[in-house]
Amino acid sequence: MVERLAHVERMSTARAVADELDDRLRAVARPERADGERRYLKSDLEHLGVSVPEIRKVATAVHRERPDLTHDELVMLVEALWEQPVHERRMLAAELLDLANTALSANDVPLLERLLRESHTWALVDPVAIRVVGTLVERDPQAWDPIVRRWASDADMWLRRASLLVHLPQLRRGAGDVDRFTEIADELLDEREFFIRKAIGWVLRETGKQRPDLVTEWLRPRAARAAGVTVREAVKHLPEEHRERVLAARPRRSRES
């Protein structure tokens, strides 16, 4: 009972801090931006019209003002921000997780998975998947491998997208385990969901900047299976010879469309 009361009190404090941060966001909001952004993202959330750079300024200020924030305090603040259906509050929660990711581990899968499931848009899924979970995957790949593979076969499309994007930070630097990514990409190559097809192509495109031979060798025998958007993204920055080899493996109708 005492422990529960203490938790309620800490959560109440977190909500008060979240409301104060909400005020900071609203102070720099541009209502004329909000409607366009909501339509663009096809969002059901409230949008204040705060730009990503402004959200990051607030996150950086919080990180600087509260250097001793514990793991549990961070989680409660993130949950307090997230529980209101406001796009910028949720973006701020993702930014705070990114700045304080050293406090996180695979033990935080329930929280991170819930955020991904409840995002319902690439604008929230991508920062959590790439900059938060991607960093954790790089730090402890063995612990995260079964989690990411489970996400790859989840019924939730956004978790499947996340299972691809978590590999992006390492692969775009020429590091990371390409085989881990390509195994998942191969499983998802026949997907009908646009955001999955685009994600495969995106990660291949970034990987190809450092390792064009590897991307070409993997994609060429799969070029006929892959969706047009996947191939178009993947070959964008490949050397001309590599790009032509991949495109030549596409059915003629696909090449002309």
Select from 95, 112, 102 the least CA-distant residue to 150: 112
Q: What pLDDT score was predicted for residue 257?
A: 43
40-88: per-residue pLDDT in tens?
Answer: 999 999 999 999 999 999 999 999 999 889 999 999 999 999 999 999 9
177-195: per-residue pLDDT in tens?
Answer: 999 999 999 999 999 999 9
Contact assessment for residue 204 and residue 219, using Cβ atoms and an 8 Å cutoff: yes
Q: Which one-letter amino acid corresponds to residue 239?
A: P
Q: What pLDDT score was predicted for residue 43?
A: 93
Contact assessment for residue 230 and residue 200, using Cβ atoms and an 8 Å cutoff: yes
| CB atoms closer than 10 angstroms to residue 51 | 14
